[in-house]
Amino acid sequence: MSKTHTTAMDTVLSGEQIQQFKTDGYLVFRTMLEPAACEHMLAVAAEQLRAALPPLEYEAELGYAGAPSSLDAEGGRTIRRLRGAYDRDPCFHDWAEDTRVVSRLRQLFDEPVCLTLAHHNCVMTKHPQYGTATGWHRDIRYWSFTQPDLICVWLALGDETPDNGGLKFIPGSHRLHIAREQLDELDFLRPEHPANQKIFAQGKAVELQQGDVVFFHSWLFHAAGVNATPAVKTSVAFAYHGCSNQAVAGSRSAVSPDVQVTD
């Protein structure tokens, strides 16, 4: 993942791509990371999962439908996230600052780029049996910045499909006005609300292969199903913002420092 292997021309976004991001709220880049780098990340993640190396997030702690009722229940030690990925291993640190990522982000933000260590900054897993589905939500729901304009960069370390709980997006939903009554207490779109039915119908599964990367806006509604395959699905997620867009003082977003990243 050396920055010297990528030329400026390799990362130049077209006007059509920039407009597509503005319109749809996400962009997919195929085979952005080479297989050997993905396999190395997978091996590191698998070892840290086996060792239950903290900081961790367990499925039982989230309370989503189908999750184990407690850490002591059957499946209660199923790990959902390896938190603090940036400081876990150089392979994650280097990916977070990779030129292929940062250069594209700089064009989308149209300014220098900062990585927030307060949000995402994790290896995401979706385990068979105890890995829960995630309803339609926006990442910005728990984030506090002067402007709600952040981008998640999601790297697929293996294939991601509807069968193993791959991502689904509602294109353009980052531009929708959503009334408070359309959301539940956790800011998920309420499935029983009539106004949400037309929104759900626009949902689109985005299938990824190993090394594919998707950039998506923090206001974009996205979801993911359960993993009905025998293998754990593993992804890496980091969140970025333009450096002029600062975390609100005293908020959860300001607890961890930002890292200014360059291309």
Q: Does some domain include residue 67? A: no
3-class DSSP assignment, residue 56: strand
CATH code of 231's domain: 2.60.120.620
Q: What are phi and psi of 42, to 5 degrees?
A: -60, -45
Taking residues 186-193, report their average pLDDT: 95
pLDDT at 250: 95
Whether 70 is in a domain gets the answer no
Q: Quick one: which of 217, 115, 125, 116 has its CA closest to 169?
A: 217
Give the pLDDT mean for 7-23. Answer: 88
CA distance 108 to 18: 7
Is 143 among the domain residues? yes
Q: Is residue 2 part of a domain?
A: no
Q: How far apart are CA 115 and CA 240, in angstroms?
A: 4
Helix (H, G, I), strand (E, B) or coil at 48: helix
Q: What is the pLDDT of residue 140?
A: 93
pTM above 0.85, yes or no: yes
Sheet-wide strand order for 134-137: 134-137, 222-224, 167-169, 204-205
Task: Determine, yes or no, domain membership for 7.
Answer: no
- Is 172 inside any structural domain? yes
Cα 204 from Cα 170, distance rounded (Å): 6
Q: How many domains does the chain have?
A: 1
Of the candidates 155, 178, 175, the residue with the CA atom closest to the CA atom of residue 25: 175
Residue 138 — φ and ψ, nearest 5°? -115, 140
Q: What are the tens digits of pLDDT across the range 48-78?
A: 999 999 999 999 998 888 899 999 999 999 9
Distance CA 134, CA 147 (A): 25
Query: 132 in a domain, yes or no?
Result: yes
Query: Within a domain: residue 12?
Result: no
pLDDT of residue 3: 41
Domain hosting residue 126, numbered range: 18-58+77-261
